[in-house]
Amino acid sequence: MEEKEIAALIEAGDASLGLELGSTRIKAVLVAPTSETIAVGSYGWENERQDGIWTYALSAVWEGIAACYLDLAQNVTERYGVKLRKIGAMGISAMMHGYLPFDKDGKQLVPFRTWRNTITGEAADHLTEAFHFNIPQRWSIAHLDQALLKGEPHVKDIAFLTTLAGYVHWRLTGEKVLGIGDASGMFPIDEVAGTYDAALLARFSELPEVQGMPWRLEGLLPRVLRAGAPAGTLTAEGARLLDPTGTLEPGTLFAPPEGDAGTGMVSTNAVRKRTGNVSIGTSAFSMHVLDAPLREVHRDIDLVTTPVGAPVAMVHTNNCSSEINVWAGLFSEVARCFGEEVPADRLYEALFQKTEEAQPDAGGLVTYNCLSGEPVTQVAEGRPLFLRTPHSQMNLANFMLAQLYAAFAPLRIGLDVLTQEEHIAVDSLVAQGGLFRTPKIAQQILANMLDLPVTVMQTASEGGAWGMAVLALYARADEGLSLADYLDQKVFASAKKTTLAPVPEGAKGAAKFLAGYRQALPVERAAAVLAEAE
């Protein structure tokens, strides 16, 4: 599209916005009605560990959202010479799960407990047994039940429990709602009813620790909406939170708020049954849209949904790219010792390209990227660890390949449960995430580790924020199409993509690395019990 044409549609309020609060970056993507990206904004942030809890202060949420939106608005003005006053449709996405309880006056009762925490093992086991349905540690219901089991005094005062996306949406629109995909990380979903499973809600109310509470769970949870449903409009107060300059006008239509898993499925066109995708970031997850129920309950497999409510088998790993970022920071510091300031994109590109010189098995090096606990590998606490024997081939190429292998290894371990125990056929996966900004390197290593063809689309590095913008477009559309058909016909009809199959030697090397990784897991688990230095 020509810049004058884009400027006109922005001024007319025909652009749509997706805003996603990821683990290390808040990103906003503005799209045209064609789904073409026309402007972006971003803001970097980090979680904090307070009293043993991974958290983000809600003040930091609003500081980050306002800074991200300002960056987007300035981008619009600089590129197109117009101010961003009206937005046609918008949606909020964020890291899924976690625990955000509020009282009847809207007061936050305890600091936000994010998906990254592994403090709810007792409750997760207890609920999985009671429900005969896998409840992961990071799910909202696991956090609530753990607080009940511990007798935390705040639980009796809860009037509303939501996720980060649901919270931001509530403050911007006044609506206590949630997209069905994000809701499926709070409590199990009934696909047909399109809301929380009524039988399991009743079973929860019968648990001893729930007896005597002045509430019922169904009264605390957000109302569930499928993709395409209207989810409220931007209020005047919400417009000021988003844009403190006062330029943005209220009235924007909102799509149901979604989790990053749902927006990842949208941005990779993987919402139709028998499709799948992988999202790579601070955490990693692969999603497989099911056409039949799983036969068994697996603690390594979550059952969530697409943004329209179809069941999805999800392999989720708490750790992925963060440890790579730590080492990249160290290498950047080394460069500064020699008076060199290396831009981040150039640094990552150079480090990733170095892996092309590596031995296929990373020279016998083994590394664990656990900045937090990792349920898939039964690692209780975050303890990054690097191991080598005196005979390992220690060089930069092998070291970086080992780091990338380690980022993907738990994903492969979880995927093996689906393919080997449930016999689910996985022919290929579509991947997205910032690691794919360097063309082909991480994509090929992921294909080798998973031993599957991996496809990356042109929009891969835009990720969930772009996917949320597409869901906003869908909420505004009036074409009578299912979400899967809308994506096929209106969004991805001419999408550019590349597919890389596993290279035999690379897949053999990845398998050898994975064998060593599995063999040394007792060392990593032992390290996890060491007291963390204050």
Q: Is the pLDDT of residue 151 over 50?
A: yes
Tens digits of per-residue pLDDT, 242-269?
Answer: 999 999 999 999 999 999 999 989 998 9
443, amino acid identity: Q
Residue 331 burial (CB count, 10 A)? 16
User: Following DSSP, what letter does each residue of 365-400 receive, concatenated?
Assistant: -EEE--SS-BGGGTB-S---EEE--TTS--SHHHHH
Based on its alpha-carbon atoms, the radius of gyration of the chain, rounded to whole angstroms, reads 22
Question: CA 108 → CA 160, 163, 268, 385, distances in Å?
Answer: 10, 12, 35, 36
Question: To which residue do tokens 């060199």 refer?
Answer: 340
Residue with token string 């697996």? 298
- The partner residues of 16 in beta bridges, in order of sequence, read 31, 89
Q: How far separated are the first and last CA of the chain, in Å rounded?
A: 54
Closest among 404, 405, 467 to 430, alpha carbons compared: 467
Beta-bridge partner residues of 339: none
- The C-alpha atoms of residue 157 and residue 213 are separated, in whole angstroms, by 9
Closest CA to 127 of 104, 115, 143: 143
How would residue 534 be classed by pLDDT, with cut points 50, 70 and 90?
Answer: very low
455-473 pLDDT, tens per residue?
Answer: 998 765 567 899 999 999 9
- What class has domain 1-93+164-171+231-267+466-493? alpha beta
| pLDDT bracket for residue 166 (50, 70, 90) | very high
The mean of the pLDDT values for the chain is 94
> Alpha-carbon dihedral of residues 179, 184, 190, 195, nearest 10 degrees?
-40
Distance CA(50)–CA(110), nearest Å, equals 12
Residues in the chain: 534
CA distance 67 to 70: 5
Strand partners, 177: 223
- What are the tens digits of pLDDT across the range 25-75? 999 999 999 999 999 999 999 999 999 899 999 999 999 999 999 999 999
Question: CATH 3.20.20.150: does it fit domain 322-458+503-527?
Answer: no
The pTM of this model reads 0.84
Task: Report whether 177 contacts 224 (CB < 8 A).
Answer: yes
Q: Where are the domains of the chain?
A: 1-93+164-171+231-267+466-493, 97-162+187-220, 322-458+503-527
Half-sphere exposure of 237 (CA within 13 A, CB side): 8
pLDDT digits (tens, 9 = 90+) for 272-311: 988 899 988 888 889 999 988 888 999 889 999 999 999 9
Give CA–CA dist 301/415, Å, rounded.
Answer: 9
- Residue 141: partners with Cβ closer than 8 Å, 6 or more residues away: 127, 135, 186, 187, 204, 217
- Which residues touch 286 (CB under 8 Å, ≥6 apart)? 276, 277, 278, 279, 314, 315, 411, 414, 415, 429
Residue 145 one-letter amino acid: D
What are the tens digits of pLDDT across the range 322-356? 999 999 999 999 999 999 999 999 999 999 999 99
pLDDT (0 to 100) of residue 73: 98
The type of residue at 489 is Q
Tens-digit pLDDT profile for residues 107-141: 999 999 998 898 999 999 999 999 999 999 999 99
Which residue is listed with tokens 């996405």? Answer: 93
Distance set, CA 179 to CA 66, 96, 163, 262, 284 (Å): 23, 11, 11, 9, 21
**Residue from 151, 416, 183, 222 nearest 306 by CA:** 183
Q: How confident is the model at residue 531 (pLDDT cuts 50, 70, 90)?
A: low
Cβ-based neighbour number of residue 112 at 10 Å: 21
Amino acid code (one letter) for 110? V
Write the class of the CATH domain 97-162+187-220: alpha beta
- Assess whether the region 1-93+164-171+231-267+466-493 and the region 97-162+187-220 belong to the same CATH fold: yes
Confidence (pLDDT) at 529: 83
Average pLDDT over residues 141-150: 98
Q: Rounded CA gap, 257 and 168, in Å?
A: 9
Q: Are 143 and 135 in contact (CB under 8 A)?
A: no
Contact between 506 and 514 under an 8 Å Cβ cutoff? The reply is no
Phi and psi angles of residue 130, each rounded to the nearest 5 degrees, phi first? -70, -35
In whole angstroms, give the CA distance from residue 83 to residue 26: 21
What's the Cα-to-Cα distance from 513 to each of 303, 388, 408, 452, 459, rounded to whole Å?
29, 12, 11, 17, 30
Tokens 């063809």 -> residue = 453
212/210 Cα distance (integer angstroms): 6
Read off φ and ψ for residue 283, nearest 5 degrees: -110, 175
The gap from C-alpha 12 to its chain's centroid, in whole angstroms, comes to: 32
Contact of 20 with 260, CB cutoff 8 Å? yes
Supply 132's token pair: 């005969």
pLDDT at 462: 63
Dmax of the chain from CA atoms? 66
